[in-house]
Chain A
Amino acid sequence: MNISDVNFKEIVSSYADEFPTYRVLDEKGNVVDQKAMDSISDEELVKLMETITWARAMDERVILLNRQGALGNYAPGGGQEASQYGSVLALDKKDVFAPTYRDVFTAVKFGMTLTQAFLWFKGHYKANQYPADLNMYSPNVVVGGTPIQAMGNAIAKRMKGEKQIALSLCGDSATSEGDFYEAINFAGVFKANLVAVVQNNGYGISVPTSHQTKAETLAQKAVAAGIPAVRVDGMDPVAVYYTVKKAREYAIENGPIVVENLTYRFGPHTMSDDPKRYRSDEEVEEWRKKDPLIRLGNYLKEKGLWDDQKVDEIYEQVKEEAKVALAEMTKTEPQKISDFLKNMYAVQPQNIQEQIAYYDAKEDN
């Protein structure tokens, strides 16, 4: 074909076709991909269900605590459990995990303590003090900051020949940031063991994805980096879990991959956001029908592996866990300005020494 024959419109029209949305369970819990389902044990599925139920219960509990003024501002995760917890459960303990501010409780399932999660929203440095063997970035508030840092770890994994990956979570709007592209582009060049998960919940606070990019899918952004991407139903916990596991194996052998989860947050962006300003109740109701807890719950109930009593137990357990964590949080020693100063440099320079002395004296009074 010659340039004189090329219809520019047709070039774009096929982009999205390359990225169909895969699922394993449909909205009612019927299996649509038996081969994928057969590769996952009942124990794994029950654990997945327990985890997303825990997450939903915790989300509701934390919203309540926030309204009571017991916790700081909170970015709810309700609706995104399949995407968040399906990803983190697919990881090995030695992998590196890079979550965002919406994934704080997801981070708890990787090794952060619940008290730390509470402290994170309150604002205390102890929220981010991890033991040396916890391979996790503290939840990052920089949109696009997670894939681009995880990229460095993922390159290191390849250089060291380690059979582990770095997995980053980011939102749809993070793909508007140049750093998202730099992350996947560098990862491609260095064959990095990176799984960059994009949680496409349709909105960057109030701005819809259609206004973030002309691209019909976010997965197709990987094309520019020359790396594979897949798009999955992010309300299907089994699809996310299966896909991230498969992506993990791929990344270890071959290099980076992008996974786009089509998901939705049922709640506001944060507790100070009013989503009624930018989306309709009807839209929310439509997405609620796709609830990850319904479909996996139905599937497991059918197999006799799940019942409502289990849900009640988990809700009770979460109530107790939250109570304990809240009490621990309250007992946490208050922060001193001198603590901050001491954490600035490995070796304290003169200005820091002077200021520590000043604040020590002030705070002792």
Chain B
Amino acid sequence: MPVLTLAQAVSDGLNEAMKKHDNALIFGEDVGKNGGVFRITAGMQETFGENRVFDTPLAESGILHMSVGLAQEGFLPIPELQFSGFAVEAFDALIAQISRQRYRSGGTRNAQITIRAPYGGGVHTPELHSDSLEGFFSQIPGLRVVIPSSAYDAKGLLLASIESEDPVFFLEHLRLYRTVKDEVPEGYYTVPLDKANVVKEGSDVSLIGYGLMVPMAMQATEKLAEKGINAEVIDLRTVSPVDYETITASVAKTHHAVVMQEAQRQAGTAGQIISEISERNFMDLDAPVARVTAPDSVFAFGLAEEEWMPDVNDIVAKVEETINF
């Protein structure tokens, strides 16, 4: 089985989607001739033609609003936002139009749109290119927010997102693009949305996260094993809506939970998960549910990025605190 980076797996998935769905369109800034600034769509314009893979003017609101009309006309839009930090330019399209299309029309119209965008820190980008905005996106009813942490998931979740009749915001972590490598089957397959993945089974504590936090948690489990702590790792895969069943079953078994996110602490995904755990698993818990997050400042200026972002040691420390509560 071929071993691909997460970036290559996304490309592979897009190629499969374009082959399977004649009506699928890929568009955005620099996705055509240039193949995208991360080369995700490299070669695709030659393969599928300028009518199906094309550049747009540099305007995020236009790109996402355009998707609404294209979807209504029977196309399957897969727009790319060059960086998710610039999705704020397109919030009207996201919140006021795309995500409420189905609700507003009383279930008679869908917005089958898969928005792709890179996000996340660790590669020393300029300001706004590294922000983790999934907390914002998760608060939008009607929108699915999907974040893969492996190459296998990236391809399968992307294809499931494109198949989904609901709009999906598909976020690809910048640092994972080329640091993650794993086996990816050739051809078409999907990984179900709304289903968390137990990446590693364990008995003592549930580590719950997504994106970059998943490989970090996996590294943490090795250090924790040395300390005699057997941690379970859950990759949410879909950040909104969340698969609480998998989380609940895990916490019922381990009695301890640490929720991790790269984003700032205030009003984030982790806060939401912890709140649900405390409602659903209160009697199971031997310790308060803990959080590993970035501080509540704006994403760090490049030189201080490593200190600002949560890392493996933060996870290990928080787990020990929780176990020794």
Task: Tell me which of B65, B109, B166, B241 contacts A350 (CB under 8 A).
Answer: B241
Q: Contacts A178-B61, A189-B57 known; A349 to B241 CB distance under 8 Å?
A: yes
* A29 CB–B CB distance under 8 Å: no
Residue-wise interface mask of A (64-76) relative to B, using a CB-CB cutoff of 8 A (1 in contact, 0 not): 0000000000000
B89 to chain A, nearest CB (A): 9
A125 to chain B, nearest CB (A): 4
Contacts of A145 in B (CB 8 A): 65, 92, 96-97
A133 to chain B, nearest CB (A): 12
State whether A182 touches B104 (Cβ < 8 A): no
State whether B51 touches A159 (Cβ < 8 A): yes
Contacts of B181 in A (CB 8 A): none
Task: Tell me which of A129, A148, A342 contacts B61 (CB under 8 A).
Answer: A148
- Bound Cα distance A340, B74 (Å): 25
Contacts of A150 in B (CB 8 A): 69
* B324 CB–A CB distance under 8 Å: no
Q: Contacts A153-B72, A156-B69 known; A350 to B105 CB distance under 8 Å?
A: no
* A347 CB–B CB distance under 8 Å: yes
Residue-wise interface mask of A (21-34) relative to B, using a CB-CB cutoff of 8 A (1 in contact, 0 not): 00000000000000
Q: Contacts A182-B61, A186-B59 known; A125 to B106 CB distance under 8 Å?
A: yes
Residue-wise interface mask of A (109-141) relative to B, using a CB-CB cutoff of 8 A (1 in contact, 0 not): 000000000000000011011101000001000
* A309 CB–B CB distance under 8 Å: no
Task: Tell me which of B57, B110, B241 contacts A352 (CB under 8 A).
Answer: B241
Instruction: Closest A residue to B100 by CB, please name it.
Output: A344
* A160 CB–B CB distance under 8 Å: yes
State whether B69 touches A138 (Cβ < 8 A): no
Instruction: Closest A residue to B192 by CB, please name it.
Output: A347
Instruction: Closest B residue to A128 by CB, please name it.
Output: B105
- Bound Cα distance A59, B105 (Å): 25
Residue-wise interface mask of B (218-256) relative to A, using a CB-CB cutoff of 8 A (1 in contact, 0 not): 000000000000000000000001111100000000000
Task: Tell me which of A152, A166, A344, A346 contacts B65 (CB under 8 A).
Answer: A152
- Bound Cα distance A189, B55 (Å): 10
Contacts of B67 in A (CB 8 A): 152
Contacts of A149 in B (CB 8 A): 65, 68-69, 97
B288 to chain A, nearest CB (A): 23
Contacts of A185 in B (CB 8 A): 57, 59, 62
Most chain-A CB neighbours within 10 Å: which of B51, B69, B165, B166? B69
Residue-wise interface mask of A (152-180) relative to B, using a CB-CB cutoff of 8 A (1 in contact, 0 not): 11111101100000100000000000110
- Bound Cα distance A148, B110 (Å): 18
Task: Tell me which of B73, B106, B108, B165 contacts A156 (CB under 8 A).
Answer: B73
State whether A182 touches B110 (Cβ < 8 A): no
Count how many pairs of residues, one from A and one from B, have CB atoms less than 8 Å apart in the complex. Answer: 132
Contacts of A183 in B (CB 8 A): 62, 65
Instruction: Closest B residue to A153 by CB, please name it.
Output: B69
- Bound Cα distance A112, B107 (Å): 16
Which residues 66-119 of B sit at the A interface, judged by CB distance below 8 A? 66-75, 92-93, 96-97, 102-110
DSSP majority for the A interface? Answer: helix
B55 to chain A, nearest CB (A): 9
Contacts of B102 in A (CB 8 A): 343-346
Contacts of A156 in B (CB 8 A): 69-70, 72-75
* A351 CB–B CB distance under 8 Å: yes
State whether A129 touches B66 (Cβ < 8 A): no
A263 to chain B, nearest CB (A): 26
A256 to chain B, nearest CB (A): 13
Instruction: Closest A residue to B108 by CB, please name it.
Output: A129
Interface size in chain A (residues, C-beta < 8 A): 42
State whether A126 touches B166 (Cβ < 8 A): no
- Bound Cα distance A44, B117 (Å): 50
B70 to chain A, nearest CB (A): 5
A138 to chain B, nearest CB (A): 6
State whether B166 touches A347 (Cβ < 8 A): yes
* B194 CB–A CB distance under 8 Å: yes
State whether A148 touches B166 (Cβ < 8 A): no
State whether B164 touches A347 (Cβ < 8 A): yes
Residue-wise interface mask of B (251-287) relative to A, using a CB-CB cutoff of 8 A (1 in contact, 0 not): 0000000000000000000000000000000000000
* B135 CB–A CB distance under 8 Å: no
Task: Tell me which of A132, A152, A182, A351 contacts B242 (CB under 8 A).
Answer: A351
Contacts of A153 in B (CB 8 A): 69-70, 72-73
State whether B106 touches A128 (Cβ < 8 A): yes
- Bound Cα distance A189, B96 (Å): 25
Most chain-A CB neighbours within 10 Å: which of B51, B75, B108, B242? B108
Q: Contacts A125-B106, A349-B241 known; A142 to B65 CB distance under 8 Å?
A: no
Contacts of B66 in A (CB 8 A): 148, 151-152, 155, 186
Contacts of A339 in B (CB 8 A): 106
State whether A346 touches B51 (Cβ < 8 A): no
B117 to chain A, nearest CB (A): 18
State whether A182 touches B65 (Cβ < 8 A): yes
State whether A186 touches B92 (Cβ < 8 A): no
Q: Contacts A149-B97, A179-B61 known; A166 to B103 CB distance under 8 Å?
A: no
Which residues 304-357 of A sit at the B interface, judged by CB distance below 8 A? 339-340, 342-347, 349-352
Q: Contacts A138-B105, A179-B92, A182-B59 known; A151 to B65 CB distance under 8 Å?
A: yes
26 A-B residue pairs with Cβ-Cβ distance under 8 Å, sorted by A, are A96-B69, A129-B107, A129-B108, A130-B105, A145-B92, A148-B65, A149-B65, A149-B69, A152-B68, A152-B72, A152-B73, A156-B70, A166-B69, A179-B62, A182-B65, A185-B59, A340-B103, A344-B102, A344-B103, A345-B166, A346-B164, A347-B193, A347-B194, A349-B144, A349-B194, A351-B244
With contacts A125-B106, A126-B106, A142-B97 known, what are 7 further pairs, Cβ within 8 A?
A152-B66, A156-B72, A189-B57, A344-B103, A345-B102, A346-B165, A350-B241
Give me the interface of B with A, judged by CB distance under 8 Å: 51, 56-57, 59, 61-62, 65-75, 92-93, 96-97, 102-110, 141-142, 144, 164-166, 193-194, 241-245
Which 8 A-B residue pairs are closest in the complex by CB-CB distance?
A: A152-B69, A156-B73, A346-B165, A349-B241, A182-B62, A153-B69, A125-B106, A129-B106
